[in-house]
Structure 1
């Protein structure tokens, strides 16, 4: 029997797998505001003498702002103030973008800005070779003009500095595709509460009992931790009475502790949807403050900020004052101050 041989057609190119990779360049940005108070007292320090800001970290490197009230170098004849950003930590060939802004303190927003950001750079980002390398301006501002400008107020200058450290990395093709579901730990703990298994503490609220788990409560709330495990812990965990709280509010509190989310307010209160939401948020904010549940307190504060109305603003303002909710208080006061909101009262 003969042998069959398969020959490649020399006129057709062979097909080989194609792989890809992408080189990415991006900036890690950070900013710092530097105030120079008592500017007039800094004059006369001498050419090359500076006032430095505190160091701040951007892109893994330390940076500082240097202000020279009598100029950085002698050739400027001390007629200008100088302003620089300096690398304040060890680094080699650190590439970065910079922005220096002398803030207009008159409210007219006429700031003096020198920036790399948002414009085409002919030679690319600035490279700093070693600790102490600087970028900035020897002749940043003529002193005589500065001292009669809106940049100087109450003998104080304010400088804003932004640094964007350039990072480069290469991405290759992924060799896997593993779908990772979102976290459902709240759902798991919620089922633990709903199932009622392994409970070891009971609460009585307005004649109704609720079973729960000491460790979960203590982990979520420092107040429950002290009540259940502290030196002055409640001895009778078979039935701990909760005073001054209504049943729907305690239900919502437990729901958040286990689920880490707000429950459906309409299911808990027999009112119209709008008033149920506001009323529950008011009571729940007080309960959250009582048990030091800061995230729940902020959720309630945000909810109440959205729902300020003529019928609820007085109660909400009193709650904001009592429980130290500064943003909610500000929203209520602004609402009250608006003439349109008080029409028909």
Structure 2
């Protein structure tokens, strides 16, 4: 359980002096609260510049939060960036730590599904800050947190120091980490008792780990489905790409979303645009796999990422995907996206293969879209 490591209050666009008392916890797990009051004033901070929280201590080290109201990257001023910064990084040590950012204002946002976390990071003099350049889009933050009404929100930053270099240069484990242990199992295959053949690739895994994370794997490996199988020592999967299955296994073992370097795929060059489209298709494939094996947290994350990364050329196929796999959030996002498109963009959408598939297979979706357009027009007339 995390221990309290102080609070920082940002008011009128700057750190309040009354909260500048250093708070430290001897525990290796601690959390610091960043209260943003007068959010509108923080938006006056230029792109690339941060507002620092007060220093706080966790696991014997000093930390702070870097809050970039208008993003850290010059061409992405439409996002909020959040970073954890290690202050005492001049001691030559590499500190291994995990961290996460979450909202604490709304009850529903305290669900682990909404928490932005990261795999274990190595904080050193060469890399003293780690975080999310695109923690959340500004318009999404303002809409979801109802900032027009309250103009404030609170972010909780949890830090868990996993290990650090000792004076002799070795590594001292400070806190057991179940996900790190599972990650070790995934890579060293010790005790693996089931093998999957996916295309030409072979994956070894542990029945108990898979069954604990998936009801489908539970049924397949231990339940009624097992009784109808001649052998489960080697399971062949012929309708899934190896990279997708590997990502599914990685998530089951580590509870971390596979690193696809989204920041590198969002560049404007033609080559990177192709990579970005490949990344989006990979997300769709991973969502299908997550739904097939009932890994709901992974399915939700894929759905959330797809909602943020749709375009005219992909929205129809995403709508089909949402209908096939009961992704209500993605479906609503697609319908809203279509509603606001220009006539020329609508023509492009209607001419796509995905749209023809919707007409032939899911005519009810068209009825929903028409109903939403009518309702929206009626509201405009009433105004």
TM (norm. structure 1) is: 0.45
Q: Which has the higher helix share?
A: 2
Larger Rg, first or second structure (1 or 2):
1
TM (norm. structure 2) is: 0.40
